[in-house]
Structure formats: C-alpha cells, structure tokens
C-alpha cells in the first residue's frame, strides 16, 4: 500500500508546502489525539487552530478505509475554515479477528467511549477464536493523516506499528486500546511507556514523520525509524497490502467518531 497518496485540487497539481507561521486547522475533537498532535507540531512553528475552537462540526465517518475517513474529515474542515487542515483516522487491526475492529475501533467503544468494554470485547473474540498465545494475537495500529486545502487538494500519509494484544490491560497512560497493545520490540504496553517513548515508535508519529518530510521541509525530532518514504509492514498478514480495509464488525447503527 502506498504510504503517500496525492489528490490534486481544482486547477493545480503542484506540490504545496507549509511554512512557519502558516495557519493549520487540526480537524479532530478527540482530546488524546489533540495532545499528541500538539507535541508533534510544536517544533514546526505553525499557527495551529483546533476544529472545535472554530465551531466546526464532526462529519459523519462514512468511509470503509482509514484513508477515506481521514480525507473526508480534512476536506470538510479545510473547506469550512478556508485554510489548510490536517485530519487523521486510526485504529487497531487485529489479525485473528480478520482486521477488526479496524476503522470501527472507536465505535466498538460506543457513544460513551467505554474502551474498557471495547478491549473486553476484543479479548472475548480472541478467546472464542482460540487466539490464546502471543503468536495468535498479532495486531497493528494504523494511522492515516490527510492534509487538505480549501480547493480540495489533499495528500495522505500512512504509518503503522506492529505488536501484540495482551490481557489483562496494563498501564494508565495513552488512550483507546493502548493498555492492551505491546509494540514490537518492547515488553510494556503503549499505556505503560512515557509519551516521549510512544512518540518515538507510534503509528501516528510515523505518519506524521512522512507528512513533515513532504510538507514541512524535513523531519525535526521525528523518530529515526520513520525517516524513509516507505515503511516495511511488520506483522501484516499475507495479502494485507491492498488499499482498502474490509468493512467488518461495525455495530448496527453505529456512527460514533474514531479513535
């Protein structure tokens, strides 16, 4: 799957860069994501505006892939705010569950954002499928960032980190499924490591590194493992390189926002 996808805007296909002082809308209402974006954007001198501060609504996520949802959120914010917008869509893809919860990761937590219940559901399904050993519990966090402009031009940047789903959950940091996910090469969950350690290896940091390299003139403070334009997908099952995530596991009538 390409790590960088470009859709030219109306009347222009030329690459567009952001410079220090430019205004940028971060199109998310998720506080956990806002905190991570603030840290990642801080070194670059952009004037960051939050979508909620502008009173921008959250568009319904009708896409069936992370790319679809990141794009629709970024374009909606850019057109409404009349300035560039950065949005992300992310989730955890569990191999033994056929890729679930995937793009529906946040919706599994329901309208109350009960991720303890969502993690318990993942564990229940893993047990039901006989996935009781680490080898059977492989997973990956996926994040796709979209930078969009008011004329509809947009670019996508994808990052992934492979790991294992554990039980019981451990740690009090992070958010979402972090307490259940041990990244490859570590023994602690995303919820047990420090914010600095997470920024060095996370899916969002890797996607951001590609965004920074392409749009901010280089990587400042980005993790060394994320400096290339391509990332080898570790732990991905055979055949998992397509551009679409299968649409599975969405609860009936679920329209909640993504984690």
- Active-site positions read 89
Q: How many CB atoms lie within 10 A of CB 57?
A: 11
Selection from 159, 61, 205, 176 nearest residue 117 by Cα = 176
Residue 176, preceding bond cis, omega within 30 degrees? no
* C-beta separation of 178 from 189 below 8 A: yes
Q: Which phi and psi (to 5°) does residue 94 adopt? A: -105, 120
Six token digits for residue 254: 């679920």
Task: Write the DSSP assignment of 30-70 as a string of letters.
Answer: -HHHHHHHHHHHGGGT-EEEEGGGGTPPPPP---SSHHHHH
Instruction: Select from 148, 157, 149, 159 the least CA-distant residue to 200.
Output: 159
Tell which residue, 235, 232, 248, has the closest CA to residue 1: 232
């Amino acid at each position: 799957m390409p790590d960088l996808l470009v859709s030219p805007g109306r009347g222009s296909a030329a690459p567009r860069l952001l410079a220090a002082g430019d205004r940028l809308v971060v199109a998310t209402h998720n506080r956990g994501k806002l905190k991570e974006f603030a840290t990642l954007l801080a070194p670059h001198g952009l004037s960051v505006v939050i979508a909620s501060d502008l009173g921008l609504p959250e568009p319904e996520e009708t896409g069936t892939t992370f790319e679809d949802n990141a794009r629709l959120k970024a374009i909606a914010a850019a057109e409404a705010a009349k300035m560039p917008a950065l949005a992300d869509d992310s989730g955890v893809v569990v191999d033994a569950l056929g890729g679930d919860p995937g793009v529906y990761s946040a919706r599994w937590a329901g309208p109350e954002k009960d991720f303890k219940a969502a993690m318990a559901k993942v564990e229940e399904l893993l047990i039901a499928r006989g996935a009781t050993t680490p080898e059977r519990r492989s997973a990956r966090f996926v994040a796709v960032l979209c930078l969009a402009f008011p004329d509809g031009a947009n670019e996508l940047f994808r990052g992934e980190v492979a790991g294992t789903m554990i039980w019981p959950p451990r740690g009090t940091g992070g958010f979402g499924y972090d307490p259940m996910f041990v990244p490859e090469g570590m023994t602690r969950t995303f919820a047990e490591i420090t914010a600095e350690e997470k920024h060095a290896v996370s899916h969002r940091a890797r996607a951001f590194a590609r965004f920074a390299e392409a749009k901010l003139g280089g990587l400042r403070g980005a993790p060394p493992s994320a400096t290339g334009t391509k990332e080898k997908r570790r732990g991905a099952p055979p055949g998992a390189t397509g551009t679409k995530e299968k649409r599975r596991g969405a609860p009936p009538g679920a329209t909640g926002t993504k984690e």
